[in-house]
Amino acid sequence: MHTLKLLSAFFKVNVQLALAYRADTIVNILLNIMWLGWELLSLSIIFNNTTTLGGWGLPELIALLGVFRLVNTMMVALIWPNTEKFNQSIRDGSMDYTILQPANSMFLVTFSRITVWRIWDLVLAIVLIVVGINMSGDLITPLHILSFILLALSGMIVIYSLWIVLIAFTFWFTKFDNNVTIMQALMDSGRYPVSVYPVWMRIIVTYIIPIAVATTIPLQALRGELSIQKIAIFFLVAVISFIVASLAWKSGLKRYSGASS
Amino acid sequence: MLKIFQRLWQVNWAEQWQYRANLMMYLLFWLVSPVIYLAIWTSIANAKGNVNGLTANDFITYYMTLLIVDQITSNIVIHTFAYKIQDGTLSGELIKPIHPMLTNALVNNIAFKILTIIGFIPVWIILFFLFKPDYSSVTLIGVLLAIPMMLMGFLIGYLLTATITSLAFWTTRVFSIHDFYFALSLLFSGQFVPLTLMPKIIQNIAQYLPFRFQLYHPIQLILGRLSVAEIIQGYLTAGIWLIVSITLFNWVWRRGVKRFSAVGA
């Protein structure tokens, strides 16, 4: 409850920040639509030349694009702005004030900045998923939808946890400004099903920087391609990675000595 | 003049060298999407035998060459210069008797490029062994023809981005304008896919635009896939665009500097 209140407070503050730059918001949304157009055009070029890509058809790829946008929104609306603020706070010591506050520091560090206009992206993402699934004519049962939501959340938790681990490294190496670049760099791989990639790339985007866990796999669940056991395993992986991330955060925090004091 | 460039080189090289870890991250950033496209198109070509006449190896050599050409023809001027106009630090450079954009910023870009190329070579070799391109169609003449084309491609791209950067004299939204420019270049440069696979209308427009000289055209030259007529036509069009971009940049820069009021100074 306390957490929810904080979250809504953060949200309000960020809405106010965004309202100071209204014209920018409109330009950003227009550019965002332009990029959507480009993404759809690139899919249509691919499917002008083939009927399946890694075993998936055009409707499935449109839905995948939607799932990709869900994860990408987390990346650009949450991970980017907060990391920037966090890196700054480690360098100049303003992290002191965050730790002093009577709330979970990991929560404060990861949710205090929200790029509000990106919520538009979430709407688009859901539209893409619904349109894609409708076009494909796949039979979707409520159970599929449930397992999709579960795995999409699991995937996001995995990415979130990886992010925590990466930024926790900053406690050890103060000048570690590139902590999330590697995630962002591999992000684009999530636009396409992991089955099109050569084995070594598949290993990287599934196990090392698990973008595919948050994109391809939830969509597979939505299409009813995953067994209950697999779904349970991915959920378990998410829980474990969140625990590992919290531990990494705590031990990192112990190393923090404050730049100013 | 040569002495000035020499000194600028020392300064900019030292500056870029400081950020070598950042450079490697940038390199990673920029490597990923061509490798993804390579994977997609080779998987399609392998499944169907060929795509519109292009075999899997044609795609592998295309994108492997693209990685090299892009390294040479791309530039980062908007990221290193736009803020100088916005926060007023440009004034320090304007009082020097050399053109800020055509000397300092240019040398800075080249230093950046050379450092990333040093990091890029081992990565490319690893990719070479992973994808095993068959480069038997490459000839010495093709490579020699491609060198001046890449140089022109770089200069055209540099001047056009410098023109967009100069719009910072008027607006704070240069990065949004640059995003739009970047989208056009994705569409017309052959970054996503060899232009011959693009819809006919895009191919026709791409003929007249400058974007293909940064990727598609030099790549095809290196791979020996162009006819003599296409080669000549390419040089002529690139030459015209070079003149256009010089004129355009000069015009915008001059008017911009007149407006410049050096915030904060």
Sorted by where each begins, the domain ranges of chain A are: 2-255
Q: Count CA atoms within 13 Å of residue B61 on its CB side.
A: 19
Chain A residues closer than 8 Å to B52 by CB? 49
Under DSSP, the state recorded for A196 is G
Chain A residues closer than 8 Å to B180 by CB? 31, 34
Instruction: Kindly state the tokens that stand for B214.
Output: 């940064």
Where do the H-state alpha helices sit in B1-73?
A: 2-18, 20-48, 56-73
The CA angle B71-B183-B226, to the nearest 5 degrees, is 55
Amino acid at B248: L
Predicted confidence (pLDDT) per residue in A240-250, tens digit: 999 999 999 99
The CA angle B30-B34-B36, to the nearest 5 degrees, is 110
Q: How far apart are the C-alpha atoms of B186 and B189, rounded to whole Å?
A: 6
Q: What pLDDT does residue B86 have?
A: 85
Instruction: Kindly state the tokens that stand for B222.
Output: 């290196």
Longest CA–CA span in chain B (Å) reads: 64
CB contact under 8 A, B180 and A31: yes
Predicted confidence (pLDDT) per residue in B33-91, tens digit: 999 999 999 999 998 888 988 999 999 999 999 999 999 999 989 988 888 888 888 88
CB contact under 8 A, A178 and B48: no
Within an 8 Å CB–CB cutoff, is residue B171 touching chain A?
no
Where do the H-state alpha helices sit in A20-141?
A: 22-48, 58-74, 80-92, 95-100, 105-111, 119-136
Q: What pLDDT does residue A260 have?
A: 56
Contacts of A191 (CB under 8 A, 6+ apart): A39, A64, A65, A68, A215, B36
Smallest CA–CA distance, residue A75 to chain B, in Å, is: 15
Q: What pLDDT does residue B261 have?
A: 76
Closest-CA residue of chain B to A42: B192
A interface mutation test: which of B36, B123, B130, B189 has the most A CBs within 10 A?
A: B36
Nearest CA among B69, B43, B59 for reference residue B147 = B69
The answer, yes or no, to whether residue B254 has pLDDT greater than 90, is: yes
Contacts of B112 (CB under 8 A, 6+ apart): B16, B23, B76, B80
Q: How far apart are the C-alpha atoms of A87 and A176, rounded to whole Å?
A: 8
Q: Which of residues 114-133 of B touch A (CB under 8 A)?
A: 130-131
CB contact under 8 A, A182 and B35: no
- Cβ neighbours, 10 Å, residue B112: 23
The phi and psi torsions of B251 (rounded to 5 degrees) equal: -65, -50
Chain A residues closer than 8 Å to B22 by CB? 177-178
Which residues of chain A have a Cβ shorter than 8 Å from any chain B Cβ?
Answer: 24, 27-28, 31, 34-35, 38, 41-42, 45-46, 48-50, 52-54, 177-178, 181-182, 184-186, 188-189, 191-192, 196-198, 200-201
In angstroms, the Cα distances linking B251 to A3, A135, B171, B177 are 56, 51, 17, 18
In contact, A98 and A108? CB cutoff 8 Å: yes
Smallest CA–CA distance, residue B29 to chain A, in Å, is: 4
The answer, yes or no, to whether residue B264 has pLDDT greater than 60, is: no
Smallest CA–CA distance, residue B231 to chain A, in Å, is: 26
The CA angle A147-A153-A156, to the nearest 5 degrees, is 140
pLDDT band of residue B148 (cuts 50, 70, 90) is very high
- Cβ neighbours, 10 Å, residue B176: 15
Q: Considering CB atoms only, which of B31, B131, B183 is closest to A34?
A: B183
Chain B residues closer than 8 Å to A46 by CB? 40, 44
Instruction: Kindly state the tokens that stand for A127.
Output: 């539209």
In contact, B33 and B189? CB cutoff 8 Å: no
Amino acid at B103: T
Nearest CA among B202, B86, B98 for reference residue A38 = B202
3-state SS of B101-152 is HHHHHHHHHHHHHHHHHHHHHHHHHHHHHHHCCCCCCCCHHHHHHHHHHHHH
Q: What pLDDT does residue A170 have?
A: 83
CA quadruple B47, B49, B53, B57: dihedral sign: positive
Strand partners, B54: B51
Identify the weakest region by mean pLDDT among A130-139, A192-201, B68-77, B194-203.
A130-139
Nearest CA among A18, A69, A84 for reference residue A39 = A69
Predicted confidence (pLDDT) per residue in B191-234, tens digit: 999 999 999 999 999 999 999 999 999 999 999 999 999 999 99
Q: How far apart are the C-alpha atoms of A63 and A68, rounded to whole Å?
A: 9
Q: How far apart are the C-alpha atoms of B263 and B265, rounded to whole Å?
A: 6
Q: Considering CB atoms only, which of B40, B51, B198 is closest to A196?
A: B40
Mean pLDDT score of chain A, rounded to an integer? 88
Smallest CA–CA distance, residue A136 to chain B, in Å, is: 20
The answer, yes or no, to whether residue A65 has pLDDT greater than 80, is: yes
Smallest CA–CA distance, residue A193 to chain B, in Å, is: 10
Each domain of chain B, given as residue ranges in start order, spans 2-259
Smallest CA–CA distance, residue A36 to chain B, in Å, is: 11
The answer, yes or no, to whether residue A37 has pLDDT greater than 90, is: yes
ipTM of the complex: 0.87
Average pLDDT over residues B87-107: 87
Q: What pLDDT does residue B226 have?
A: 92
Check residues A104 and A127 and name the one with the higher pLDDT: A127
Strand partners, B51: B54
Under DSSP, the state recorded for B35 is H
Rounded to an integer, what is the distance from CA B185 to the centroid of its chain?
10
Closest-CA residue of chain B to A27: B176
Nearest CA among B216, B229, B47 for reference residue B146 = B216
Smallest CA–CA distance, residue A17 to chain B, in Å, is: 18
In contact, B218 and B153? CB cutoff 8 Å: yes
Report the helix count and the strand count for chain B, using DSSP H and E: 11, 0
In contact, B77 and B168? CB cutoff 8 Å: no
Under DSSP, the state recorded for A224 is T
